[in-house]
Amino acid sequence: MDKLTVTREHRPDDIAVTIGPSRIGNGEFLLIAGPCAVETPEQMAGIVAMLAGNPAGMLRGGAFKPRTSPYAFQGLGRDGLVLLREAADRLGIPVLTEVTDTTHLELVLEFADAIQIGSRNMSAYELLKAVGRQSKPVVLKRGMAATVREFLYAAEYIVAGGNEQIILCERGIRSFDPTYRNVVDLNTVAWLKAHCPFPVVVDPSHGSGRVDLVTPLSRAAIAAGADGLMVEVHPNPGCARSDGDQSLDPAAYRDWHRACLDLARFMGRTC
């Protein structure tokens, strides 16, 4: 095997990642929440109201959306970044948003505190090199059919550029069963915690595609060792322009928030 330095063999100690006032890893637990896509000022006001009562450590939201169909909502681009930044500033928390192409990176870095590499781009090597050359934290989502080895090499591309502030995200892998959009791979969560120094977050929203499974899968992820969770929320999921079926509404978000913090504290995490 080629040189691989992202394992505990080379980096034995937990690496904590700092995103503005928030931290994850080495015992610190982080909740990340926000809409799949930034849609309207009214939607973002609803998101602010949801998170104001039950704080998350980071606001997520897509302005550049990688969609299966070219006719589906592609995101608001720069206008979406502006709305996302305003909402996060009102909450006093950092912003995580996806970059889908190297040509958008400079623009996204103007607004974001952390950069997401989506599942579809886990193997976009020029994009990995580009986020490795800049210093903001990177949430690297596992490709939907990527092996652990391929996932680790994607992280290796980022550290090879000089950036060690990486959060690994297990977001579900493809299976044979159409009951679920994807299946959260808890094997990999436990494996990564044992063999890798980076914080691991689980995304049970994309990991199942079903709002009814988000809380049980979140609990399972915490029990398996996850350092954080990322979920999609929406003030009115029935009207969401993407991923409404997996987005928590205000009441479900409140219950999820309490369930996750209770279990994380019980497991000895700081949050």
Size of the site for Mn ion (CB under 5 A): 2
Nearer CB in complex with ligand PEP: 7/123: 123
Binding status of residue 36 toward Mn ion by CB under 5 A: yes
**Per-residue CA distances from 76 to 37, 38, 166 (Å):** 8, 7, 26
150 vs 152: CA distance, rounded Å = 5
Q: How far apart are CA 13 and CA 206, in angstroms?
A: 30
108 vs 74: CA distance, rounded Å: 15
Q: How many residues does the chain have?
A: 271
Exposed, middle or buried: residue 161 (CB in 10 Å: 0-12, 13-18, 19+)?
middle
Q: How far apart are CA 18 and CA 236, in angstroms?
A: 31
Among ligand PEP, Mn ion, none, the one that 118 touches (CB under a kind-dependent 5 to 8 A) is ligand PEP
Q: Which residues bind ligand PEP (CB under 6 A)?
A: 36, 62, 66, 98, 118-120, 141, 171, 206
Q: How far is the CB of 68 from Mn ion (least distance, A)?
A: 11
Q: How many CA atoms lie within 13 A of 259 on its CB side?
A: 17
Give the nearest distance from C-beta 142 to ligand PEP in angstroms: 8
Choices 67-75, 207-215, 241-249, 259-267 (CB under 5 A): range interacting with Mn ion: 241-249
Query: Which residue, 66 or 161, has its beta carbon nearer to ligand PEP?
Result: 66
User: 116-135: which residues touch Mn ion (CB under 5 A)?
Assistant: none
Instruction: Choose the one of ligand PEP, Mn ion, none that binds residue 23, judging by a C-beta under 5 to 8 angstroms depending on kind.
Output: none
Instruction: Tell me how far, at minimum, the Cβ of 84 lies from ligand PEP, in Å.
Output: 12
Q: How far is the CB of 35 from ligand PEP (least distance, A)?
A: 9
Would you say 142 or 193 has its CB closer to ligand PEP? 142
Q: Compute the least distance from the CB of residue 10 to ligand PEP, in Å.
A: 27
User: d(Cα 75, Cα 13) in Å, to the nearest integer?
Assistant: 38
Q: Which does 119 bind (CB under 5 to 8 A by kind): ligand PEP, Mn ion, none?
A: ligand PEP
The whole-angstrom separation of Cα 244 and Cα 181 is 13
Query: Which two tokens mark 258?
Result: 């309490």
Judged by the rule CB under 5 A, the positions of this chain that interact with Mn ion are 36, 243
